[in-house]
Amino acid sequence: MYRDLAEWWPLLSPPAHYVNEAADLLRRLGPLPSDPLPTLLELGAGGGSLAFNLKRHFRMTLTDRSPGMQAVSRAINPDCEHILGDMQSLWLDRRFDFVLIHDAIMYATTPAAVRATLATAAGHCRTGGTVVVLPDFVRESFTPDTDHGGQDGADGRSLRYLEWTWDPDPSDDTCLVDYAFLLRETDGSVTMVHDRHMEGMFPRARWLEWLREAGLPAQSSLDQWQRDVFIGTKE
């Protein structure tokens, strides 16, 4: 998805899908100054669809380890700084007012990976600044699920997908997400692709513990989609 299929991302998860989520996040962080705009570092920004809806409120630096996904983000967010790097090991030697980790945190599938990512966030946040972590679910809120969608592109290409989230072993800290893609080219030919993702799934209390250990004591609240939003303040 993030390498071979990166160019299809605008048909899978376009900026229009993130309007309400961005508005919910802004309500939690506001009121925000407008002169100068606060700085925000997003770790694992992917194709930049969420950033597209936030960027008029922040001076944004978008990082991701996928060159293909960054190319997509650069196309829609040319006014944002883009830096290639892994959220577990990135070091910019700079501090930001806000650090955001959206659903990319789901790819931290071990406690060590989560701690490393939170250490990156803490290291890039100024004292008194804010770190926001938005996992798709925690252990307590996980339920097996299916979803589907897709878009028709202005260039004549189309994408449709089925997403299937399930947990083959409830005793461990991971679940699986299987995607089935139908990719239609401009000549009408269709390719089918299966893509499997492993994601981390940890109890709420462990998230709060790890944030506290990173120097980011946090509170958790549920958004309108019943997802935990962890907001911590850098000590």
CATH 3.40.50.150 in the chain: give the residue spans: 6-138+202-233
Assign domain 6-138+202-233 to its CATH superfamily: Vaccinia Virus protein VP39 (3.40.50.150)
pLDDT score at 147: 98
Reading the block at residue 109, the tokens are 């599938």
pLDDT score at 143: 96
DSSP string, 141-182: G---EEEEE--B-TTS-EEEEEEEEE-S-TTSSEEEEEEEEE
One-letter amino acid of 168: P
Query: What topology does CATH give the domain 140-200?
Result: S-adenosyl-L-methionine-dependent methyltransferases (2.20.130)
One-letter amino acid of 176: L
Percent of the chain with pLDDT over 70: 100
Q: What is the DSSP letter of 53?
A: H
pTM above 0.85, yes or no: yes
Determine the Cα angle at 65 with ends 64 and 69, to 5°.
65
CATH 2.20.130.10 in the chain: give the residue spans: 140-200
Residue 78's contacts (CB-CB under 8 Å, 6 or more residues apart) are: none
Prior bond to 78 cis, omega within 30?
no
Mean pLDDT, the chain, rounded, equals 97
Cβ atoms of 49 and 104 within 8 Å: the answer is: no
The predicted-structure confidence for 101-118, as pLDDT tens digits, reads as follows 999 999 999 999 999 999
Mapped onto helix, strand or coil, the DSSP state of residue 146 is strand
Residue range 119-142: mean pLDDT, rounded: 98
The predicted-structure confidence for 167-186, as pLDDT tens digits, reads as follows 999 999 999 999 999 999 99
The predicted-structure confidence for 182-204, as pLDDT tens digits, reads as follows 999 999 999 999 999 999 999 99
The predicted-structure confidence for 7-60, as pLDDT tens digits, reads as follows 999 999 999 999 999 999 999 998 999 999 999 999 999 999 999 999 999 999
